Structure 1
Amino acid sequence: MDGQLSTPQVSYSITLEVSSSQIQQQYPQTPIAPPPVQSTNNLLYETIQRLDRLDGKLLQVEARLKPLEEIDVKLNSLTAEITFIENRVCLLKTTIDALEKSLEFASKSLDEIKLKVSKVDSFEKELKLLSTNNQNLQTQITDLQMRSMRDSLLFFNLTGCEEENCEEIVKKRCRDKLKLENAEHIKFDRVHLLGKRGPNTTRPIVAKFCMLKDLERVRNAPKNLQGSGIGIGKQFPREVQEQRRKLVPSFKRLREAGRNAKLSGDKLYVDGHLYNGPECHA
């Protein structure tokens, strides 16, 4: 067994040695020669040219990048402006919110004002109605006063009434100054002084007649009083007297112009037509 195992090992080793030698004989190694100098120079020249071309391209790239830098600067500026605009927008939003709140408050206030205005309008209507009613009542009162005074006459500048009986003074003046017959038989409802007593003044006397015919006799007799200083006139309410006082200048002017002017109550008639001058509306 031992002799059989060692034989193949020897044979294998010989076979390898033969194969290696055979290879060396068939393919001998040749030494590598150094490259020639001319080819090296060409390689360097080509490399330099390539580098020059690369440098030119880099310059072109840099030239193209300069506008990009300017664009970047502009973009930075635009970014700053956009930031500024955003801040302004935020401020505007805040302002708008405040304005909306103010408008909401103003709207509520406006609604309240409208409500108050409607109440004021309602009050104005009520006041107009009350004013109309008051005017109507005043007209009715004036009419009633006119009716109650239609039986009365005013006597002016009758002296002696402060110390004596007014009725007797009136009867005496009707007899002596107006030349009325049976003046002592005139019947009066009442006779009294009008207004407050003042120094150096003669208050008018109000005489209310019981009989209309006696009143007409006295009222139609003033032509006998010329030069006596005594005056006789109808009694009117204060409002009517004030209106007549305003109309007197126009009444005298129209009479002097030959027009048929007549005062009736608080109205002036000219040639049968109601006078409607500016003093009528004063």
Structure 2
Amino acid sequence: MRELSVEVLEDAIKELVMVANYNAPEDVKRAFDLALEKEESEVGKKILLEFKENHKLASEEKLGICQDTGLAVIFLFLGQDVHLVGGDIYEAINRGVEKGYTEGYLRKSTCDPLTRKNLGTNTPAIVHIKFIPGDKVKVVVMPKGGGAENMSALRMFPPSAGLEGAMDFVVETVRKAGPNPCPPTIVGVGIGGNFERVAFLAKRALLRPIGSKNTDERLAHIEEELLERINKLGIGPMGLGGRITSLAVHVELEPCHIASFPVAVNIECNAHRHKSIEL
């Protein structure tokens, strides 16, 4: 059994929060280059170039890619042979988040949902823990902005809706979102599970690198068809028209109850901030 201090976890999250907000991920940069080759709208091309310049300046100046620096979504892949010592895991995560947002001069966005009073800490973080074999700990920080999250949706379909109904729902969700999630977007889709699980599947689907192919051939085909349909909507970069409304569609699927057919759509903005480390 390997011991790891929660202080190490806290420090790692503090750094990841800042790095994720300052630096566009490599898969996003590659996706923008490909999008520029495909985009036919002159306005759309100009917007994509402005985004690329924004990525460059944010990284150089250590500034947030977007002023909405998001709620901190943390995925913790915890090796079953690791014993975290020295305190409460959740408290350590939240201390790391607060330090990262404070020391990194990043906007804090958590508030009381009723009074709307800002809590001033950007905590509590949204934490997902999965136990994995081995003695390593992988931490993924995904700051998730409000504009894109607000456009996400979940539907508990009857089984009779079938795949066609699910796909129509995904495309309609993106259509209704329009310019609000700052396209070009990345679309995470969850199918199956139950009410709370399907939302998690849609969120987790966003972790897969843009440009990677789904290992399930059925889902790979669905992703391709959904992306084609979405990019025919004509919404385009920042909703000003064009071919590239979304950079990718990622689908995750799990078994569900025989009487249910849950489908969730989690829309991600063009910044698609995420950063990971293995401890």
More helix by share: 1
- Give the structure-1-normalised TM-score: 0.24
TM-score (norm 2): 0.25
Structure with larger Rg: 1
Which has the larger strand fraction? Answer: 2
